[in-house]
Amino acid sequence: MGVMKRTVVLVTLVCSLWACKKAGDDKKPAGDPKAAGSAATKPDPWGDPPTTKVASGTGQSLSLIDVGRDPQPHDKLATKVELGDIAKPAETKLAIKGFASTAVTGFQVTYNPSKNAVHEQFRGALQSNHVFEQVAETLNRTWRIPQTVDIELVDCNTVNAFYDPNTKRIIVCYELLDYFLDTFKPTAKTNDELGNAVIGATMFSFFHETGHGLINLLDLPAVGREEDSVDQLATLTLIAGGDEGVAMAEAGAYWFQIQAKGTGHQTPFWDEHAFDGQRFYNIMCLIYGSNPQKYANFVSTNTLPEDRAKRCPEEYAKINKAWEKLLQPYLTNGAAVNVDYKPTVAQTEAPKTTAADPWGDSPSGDSTAKPSTPPPAAPAAPTHAVTCEDVATKAAQLIGKEAEERAKSMSQDEIKELAARLEAQLPAAMQQILAQCAKEDWSDTARACVINAGSLAVAEKCN
């Protein structure tokens, strides 16, 4: 009930700003179900990848961008840059407000302008389709993180993607998309194939860097090489996204295969990364192991050698279980239920925080104390007439209402951007309010005050 309630709130708020255009007018007719169903089982990134939420319209837009040259090795491929020299996220007047003393957390997106005309086309294609806002929304619905993380699209003067632990930002370089267009153009049969391969490989790179971010933010152990660990997490995350996610993981794998064969560019990742050929087989093994019957032709086409394929189901099960256990304390309620773990915040009422909770206070008052894994909390009966989830839901409604008032003086483009930000960031805001309400054990009077408030300003005065 709680997850459904939150979904309705988000849809209502976004529709009020956007007139539900995103949910209706822009929706493209579904493709041939038979073709879509076969896409994920093909052992290559081509064919007809499923065109769903993230990829819809974006791949085609990217494929039509003319980089102004024939495919060739990128002249800045091996350029090393200092992360501190990469421009910070561009400021925006469309920031989402928090609630009272509850800090703003979660993933948020910035598309930095570029002086490069081709990069501006990349920015336009990604921003107009709200690609990374949709990804941020998914992340915010999945993980509770203790602070804000910027997802930044920006000029880097090198071909790469990064996680910057100093500024807590995931950086996707426009040069990387330029590079992927070059890499896949010689083998793509159609513009759709090219565009979907570019967006797929970009998403694999992004989730790889997100893995680095989670290890840093949540102080997770990385057993073995961290680069191998985050390749695993990126692949598992995309597999969990269904056929579209699998198609993206395959695009990432084939990026490595092209490089391993020496028919494309040299890899921009070096030193501690595994060889490109190893990365290709590791990704394909996890995909195959997740559903051997569905991906049986990986073996029949010798894309995945039979000797390796035999071990893949067990390999997938072990790696998937290990990551679920590591991430379980930080999963949102809905995500925890989906992976068969009990939520750490009960659906009806969040438990008091403990020293093992990174969002609470350590016994010494040291906020930098390292979190440990708390035991799963059993759902508890509500002890208040109004639950913390009710309060979080109402606070989100008021944040949305405040955004509606601001939107009255905005252009249509700004309203669309604000709506996309709301959709992406409200799940994180609601999780943070839920946790804070539980931690501080807000009184019945304060909870009722929020529920009855007619504006965000009034609710923020509820003690």
Question: What is the pLDDT, as a whole number, of residue 122?
Answer: 93
- What are the CA-CA distances from residue 311 to residues 106, 119, 294 (Å)? 37, 43, 16
The per-residue pLDDT for 59 is 67
Residue 236, domain member (yes or no): yes
Q: Is residue 43 part of a domain?
A: no
Q: What is the pTM of this model?
A: 0.74
Give residue 281's identity as a one-letter amino acid code: Y
- In tens digits, the chain (463 residues) has pLDDT values of 343 344 334 333 433 343 433 333 433 333 333 333 333 333 333 333 333 345 456 766 777 777 665 444 455 455 678 999 999 988 776 666 667 667 778 899 999 999 999 999 999 999 888 899 989 988 988 888 888 999 999 999 999 999 999 999 999 999 999 999 888 888 888 888 888 889 999 999 999 999 999 999 999 887 678 888 999 999 999 998 889 899 999 998 888 888 766 644 454 444 444 456 788 999 999 999 999 999 999 999 999 999 999 999 999 999 999 998 888 888 876 665 555 555 555 554 443 333 333 333 333 333 333 334 444 444 455 567 888 888 888 888 888 888 888 888 888 888 888 888 888 888 888 888 887 787 788 889 999 999 999 988 888 888 7
Q: Which long-range contacts (CB under 8 A, 24 or more apart) does 336-345 make?
A: 337/3, 341/376, 342/376, 342/377, 342/378, 342/379, 343/376, 343/377, 343/379, 344/374, 344/376, 344/377, 345/377, 345/431, 345/434, 345/435, 345/438
Q: 41 lies in a domain?
A: no
Inside any domain, residue 38 = no
With respect to residue 36, please indicate whether it lies within any of the assigned structural domains. no
Q: Is residue 34 part of a domain?
A: no
3-state secondary structure the chain: CHHHHHHHHHHHHHHHHHCCCCCCCCCCCCCCHHHHHHHCCCCCCCCCCCCCCCCCCHHHHHHCCCCCCCCCCCCCCCCCCCHHHCCCCCCCCCCCCCECCECCCEEEEEECCCCCHHHHHHHHHHHHCCHHHHHHHHHHHHECCCCEEEEEEECCCCCCEEEECCCCEEEEEHHHHHHHHHHHCCCCCCHHHHHHHHHHHHHHHHHHHHHHHHHHHCCCCCCCCHHHHHHHHHHHHHHHCCHHHHHHHHHHHHHHHHHHCCCCCCCCCCCCCCCHHHHHHHHHHHHHHHCCCCCCHHHHCCCCCHHHHCCHHHHHHHHHHHHHHHHHHHECHHHHHHCCCCCCCCCCCCCCCCCCCCCCCCCCCCCCCCCCCCCCCCCCCCCCCCCHHHHHHHHHHHHHHHHHHHHCCCCHHHHHHHHHHHHHHHHHHHHHHHHHHHHHCCCHHHHHHHHHCCCHHHHCCCC
Position 151 scores a pLDDT of 96
Position 30 scores a pLDDT of 33
310 lies in a domain? yes
Residue of 142, 179, 140, 143 lying closest to 159 (CA atoms): 179
Residue 42 located in a structural domain: no
Residue 149 has what pLDDT?
Answer: 94
**What is the extent of the structural domain holding 281?**
1-28+49-463
Q: How many domains, in total, are found in the chain? A: 1
Smallest Cα–Cα separation from 159: which of 231, 85, 74, 230?
Answer: 74
pLDDT at 272: 44
